[in-house]
Amino acid sequence: MATVTARAHPNIALVKYWGKRDPVLNLPAVGSISVTLSDMETETEVTLDPSAEADRFTLDGASAPAEAARVGRFLDRVRERAGIETHACVSSRNNFPTAAGLASSASGFAALTVAATRAAGLALDDRELSVLARLGSGSAPRSLFGGFVEMSAGRSTSGADAVARQLHPPRHWPLTVRVAITASGRKQVGSTEAMQLSERTSPFYGAWVERNAADLDEARAAIAHRDLERLARVTEASCLSMHAVALSSEPGLLFWNGTTVRVIHEVRAARARGLPVFFTIDAGPQVKVFSEAGTSFALEQVHGVEQVIEVGVGPGAEVV
């Protein structure tokens, strides 16, 4: 029996991915740029067991039927690729709250991609790992790499060019990321369903796709020059545009709560006072606040903030 354990970290998009150009191959309609986080991690152990009659999956020690189906479909791809039929026992652990808008699907599928391919005897390059990870989750290829990462939308119908690559390693710009937890429940709508609703119904969806190339150029340049003010502008604009598309879907998707909005105001007020901070928000109520390392900025006192997790820029996925 081959057992392999891999570790991967969540990532947070500065330029957001929202929309699919091909839902079957899970090809993104837009490119995205992210930062991989340190400290928060998913560790996934995969054992290929010739005597097992089905795949088994546990998340944080408990069975997770919804995720198990998705994991099973992903393992089918790996088996297909490796030319084997062996079932797997997969156990995955997050050291942070699952499905609360902290991109556990990204770190989860990045860790699973690395562990399952290795256990199946495959030696894939970064591009091939990226293609496979994307079939699990659109943001997962970004967690294969550390530091600052770009995921391309690509053009080919096969998806061969819809891959992630590292722009800069973590040491390029040691930012601090504070995750303000404003609600700890699981999210209401899955991101795939939400994106597809936006694509079908938001009158702003076309404009969102159109602005993407300029956002990517701007973010790439801001990161290359370590220009926080510039990165703040494009990151907040990408985030608020994504949420404008979500809000203008029918029925409207409102991921924020009152505390989310209070944190946004707090961050903007601090930046107006000259503090180098900015925010971004994914398909959930948590707010991720970026700053230059060493900037002290407390969010715990904002009414409704349950917890603040402080991390840095982290490494890519690896076998443990």
Q: Residues binding ligand PMV: what is the number (CB under 6 A)?
A: 15
Binds ligand PMV by CB under 6 A, chosen from 182, 191, 238, 260: 191
Binds ligand PMV by CB under 6 A, chosen from 31, 108, 138, 285: 138
Binds ligand PMV by CB under 6 A, chosen from 32, 98, 235, 259: 32
Binds ligand PMV by CB under 6 A, chosen from 46, 114, 283, 287: 283
Give CA separation, 40 vs 37, 74, 132, 179, 283, in Å: 7, 23, 23, 11, 19
Q: Which of residues 198-237 bind ligand PMV (CB under 6 A)?
A: none
14-17 long-range contacts, CB within 8 A, separation 24+: 14/219, 14/223, 14/231, 14/234, 14/235, 14/238, 14/280, 15/212, 15/215, 15/216, 15/219, 15/234, 15/235, 15/238, 16/238, 16/239, 16/241, 16/242, 16/280, 16/282, 17/138, 17/139, 17/151
Binds ligand PMV by CB under 6 A, chosen from 9, 16, 79, 87: 16
Least distance (Å) between residue 21 CB and ligand PMV: 14
Q: Give the interface segment with ligand PMV, choosing from 43-51, 132-140, 204-212, 292-300 (CB under 6 A).
A: 132-140
130 binds ligand PMV (CB under 6 A): no
Instruction: Give the separation between CA 105 and CA 116, rounded to whole angstroms.
Output: 15
Contact residues: ligand PMV, CB under 6 A: 13, 16-18, 32, 103, 105-106, 137-139, 191-192, 282-283
